[in-house]
Structure 1
Amino acid sequence: MTEIDYSQFSSARPKHRRDLSLLSDRIFLMDGGMETTFIFHDGIELPYFASIDLMRRESGRETLSAYYTRFLDLARERGAGFVMDAPTWRASPDWAVKLGLTQDEMSGLNRASIGLMLRLRDRFEAPATPVILAGVVGPRGDGYQPGATMSAAEAARYHATQIETFADTAADMVSAYTINYVEEAVGIALAAKAAGIPATISFTLETDGKLPTGQSLRAAIEQVDAQTDAAPLYYMINCAHPTHFAGIIAEGGDWLDRIQGLRANASRRSHAELDASPDLDAGDPAELGRQYRALRTHMRRLNILGGCCGTDYRHVDQISLACLPAGAAGGA
C-alpha cells in the first residue's frame, strides 16, 4: 500500500458534534449509487465493490472529491441540506483482510475519509445548506443475503472497531446501510451507543417489501427499538425500488415515523436479477422522483433523500425537483 500522509486530512473529534435535530427541519439530499456510478459510468475497478480503495491513491481521492462536489453543488443550488456519506461501506475488519490491508491501515483510511469530507464541508456549506458528515458502516457479509449471521453481541463486537474510529473523528453520526437481518442492526446500534455517536440503520428490502430473512420492515424496526431502547436516530430503506415497498407504506401506521431516509434503487429488478445482470439498469430518473414524492404523502418524516444501486446525479436531481417545493428553498 502506498503511504498516505494522513495529516492533510484533519479529522480530529470536534468539541461538539452537530445538533442533528436540524435533520428534521428541511429536506436533505444525499448522493446516488456511488459504487455503480464508478464502475459502470466511470469505468473504475473497485475490488469487492469497495470505494474505500480509492482513498489509497491521490487520483482516487480526487475522483471522490469530484463525485461529492456535484451533489454538494446541487444541494446548494436547490437550498437543501446534504448528508455526506463516507466511502467506507466496505471498510470494516473482514473487508480489510480481503483488500490486503492491515487493520491499522484500514483505520487510517476510515479516518482519512472523514477528513476528506470535512474539507469539502468547509468549502461548500452555507446557511441554507447544512452538511452532516456520516461514517458509513456496511454489513459484515453480503448486502443482499444474510449468509452467516451473527448474534447481536457478536455484531456489536465486530462493528465496534470501525464505529469507535468514527467516534474519534469529526463524523457527526454513523450510517449503517444494506443491513439485511435484525441482529446485525441491533449490534451496530448498541456499538454506536457505547461509542457515544448517533447511528442510523438502513435495511435492505426484497421485492415483497420484507427483509431478506422474511421479516417485515415494521417488525424489524420495532425489534431493534425494543432491544436498544430506541437507540437509532432514525431508520432508512435502501437497495429496493419504490414499487417493492410502496404497498406496505400505503398501509400506514405510526411506526412509519421512525423512517426518515430513503436510498432507492433505479431498477425494479430483484437482487438476484441485479447480481446476474452484466448491464446497469438506470430506470427512469423522472419517474423515480415522482415515486419519492408519492411516498412522502404517507411518510411525514421522510426528508433525507438519495439513491442506491443504479442511481446517479440525474436521479438525485429529479428527486430534488419532485420533492422540494418550488421557490421554497430548504422547505420540507
Structure 2
Amino acid sequence: MLQWVTDGGLETDLLFHHGVDLPEFAAFPLVEDSNGRKLLTDYFVQYAAIAAAAGAGLVLETPTWRANADWGAKVGYDAAALDRVNQAAVDLVRSTPTDVPLRVSGSIGPRGDGYVAAGTEADEAAEYHAPQINAFAAAGVDVVHAMTMTGPAEAIGIVRAARAAGLPVGISFTVETDGRLPDGTPLSAAVASVDAAAAPDWFGVNCAHPTHVSPGLDGGDWQQRITTFRPNASTLTHEELDAMEILDEGDRPLLRSSTEALLATLPSVTTLGGCCGTDASHVALLWGVQQA
C-alpha cells in the first residue's frame, strides 16, 4: 500500500524547466548558493504539497546523486568540499517546510554513468562510497538510498558501507527495456545476489518506464522486497535518452496506466515518485491528486 510520496526527476526538471546549467548533471553545487538553495527548496515544497493532498508521508532525496569523488572532481570538488556539501544537502532537505512526516534520504549515484554497467568489486565500491555515506551519517540523515544501480557488486559495496556507518539503506536498480540491468543481470537475480551478500533494508527500481520494468517481473517472492518505484516519463531507451537534446515528458496517460498495472503486481511498494523527465505534475498524476 502506498504510504510515501517521493520527488521526481530533479536534474531534468532543473535543466529543461528552469534553464539551470548542471555541468556533469550535478545538482549538488546548488546547495552552496543562496539562489540555488531557494530553487531546491521550491522544488521540494511542491512534493510536500502533493504528500499533504494525498494524506501521505514525504521522502525527499538530497540533491547529491553526483556528489562522489569521481564526478565531484569534474566540477572542482575535493574530498573536504564533498564532505561539506553532502552534509549541507541533508540540512537543506531537513529544513523543507511541510506538515507531513518527512524522511531525509541521502541520495547516492553510481561511480560511473547511470546507464552503463558498473564494476565487479564490492569491496572497492564500499571503500569508494564510504566518504559520502559517512558525511550523511554525520549530518543525521534518516536513510541512504543508492539509485540507478547498474549491477549487483556496487550495490553490495554500498550496503556494506552503510552498515559500517550504522545507517539504514535501500538499493534501487535501473533496467533496460527488457527488464534486465545494464550489465545484463535479470532483476530477480540482482535482488537475490545482493540479498545473499549484504541485504539492504529494501529495494526499488528507478529511471525506467513501467513498461520496461514489467518484463523483469516473474511473480516470485523476491518481488516483495521492492518497496520503491520512481519511473521515467519516457518509453525511450537509455541510449536514446542520453542522445536527446530536448526533454521527453512522455505519454502521461500511459505513464499512469502502466504504473497502476505495475503496482498491482508489486503490492509491497510503499514509496512512489518519478525519475528522469518527470516533475511534480507527473508525480501528482501518479498519486491521483490535484497539484496546487
TM-score if structure 1 supplies the norm length?
0.85
Q: CA deviation at 1:26?
A: 4.8
Find the aligned partners of 2:252 and 2:285 in 1 and give their Cα distance: 6
1:242 equivalent to 2:210? Answer yes
**Structure 2 CA distance for aligned equivalents of residues 150 and 214 of structure 1:** 13
Select the residue among 113, 127, 137 that pairs with 1:167: 137
- Does the 8 Å CA contact 1:133/1:173 hold for their aligned counterparts? yes
Task: Show the 5 A alignment for 1:179-190.
Answer: 179-190=149-160
**Counterpart residue identity of residue 246, structure 1:** S
Equivalent residue in structure 1 for 2:98, among 96, 99, 124? 124
Give the corresponding residue for 1:5.
Answer: none
Residue 59 of structure 1, CA deviation: 0.5
Write out aligned runs for 1:210-249 (5 A). 210-228=180-198, 230=199, 232-249=200-217
Residue 195 of structure 1: aligned partner = 165
Give the gaps of 5 or more residues in structure 2: none
> Residue 308 and residue 26 in structure 1: after superposition, are their counterparts in 2 closer, same or farther (change >3 A)?
closer
Letter of the structure 1 residue corresponding to residue 45 of structure 2: T
1:262 aligns with 2:229: yes
Alignment of 1:291 with 2:269, yes or no, is: no
1:67 is paired with a residue of what secondary structure?
helix
Partner of 1:106 in structure 2?
A: 82
SS in 2 for 1:214: coil
Distance 1:178-1:26 versus aligned 2 partners, 3 A rule: closer
* Aligned alpha-carbon RMSD (Å): 1.5
> Which structure's CA Rg is the greater one?
1
**Percent of aligned pairs sharing the same letter:** 44
SS at match of 1:177: strand
Please give the alpha-carbon distance, in whole angstroms, between the structure 1 residues aligned to 2:216 and 2:177: 11
Could you tell me how far apart the structure 2 residues matched to 1:238 and 1:190 are? 21
TM-superposed deviation, 1:300? 1.4
Equivalent residue for 1:142, pick from 102, 108, 113: 113
Q: Secondary structure at the match of 1:261?
A: strand
CA distance in 2, matches of 1:49, 1:29: 24
Describe the superposition over 1:118-143 as per-residue Cα deviations: whole angstroms up to 9, x where unpaired. 111xx313xxx321110111001100
Does residue 206 of structure 1 match 2:180?
A: no
Give a deviation string over 1:62-110, Cα, whole Å, max 9, x none: 1000000111111112211111100000001112211111211111111
The two structures have a TM-score, normalised by structure 2, of: 0.96
Task: Tell me which residue corresponds to 2:20.
Answer: 44
Displacement of 1:150 in angstroms is 4.5
Matched residue type, 2:22: L
For each residue in 1:153-187, what CA deviation from the matched residue of structure 2 results, as whole angstroms up to 9, or x when unmatched?
00000000100111112210000011101110000
**Counterpart selection for 1:177 from 147, 172, 175:** 147
State the distance in 2 between where 1:131 and 1:55 align. 19
Confirm or deny: 8 A CA contact 1:26 1:81 kept in the other structure: no
Match of 1:142, SS state, is coil
2:40 aligns with: 64
Q: How does 1:292-331 map to 2 (within 5 A)?
A: 292-321=259-288
Q: State how far apart, in whole Å, the 2-side matches of 1:286 and 1:83 are.
A: 25
Equivalent pair of 1:286/1:315 in contact (CA under 8 Å): no
Aligned to 1:31: 7
Structure 1 unaligned segments of length 5 or more: list them: 1-24, 323-332
For residues 170 and 285 of structure 1, what CA distance do their matches in structure 2 show? Answer: 37
Deviation readout 1:248-289 (Å, 9 max, x if unpaired): 32x311100000001111000001111111111101223312
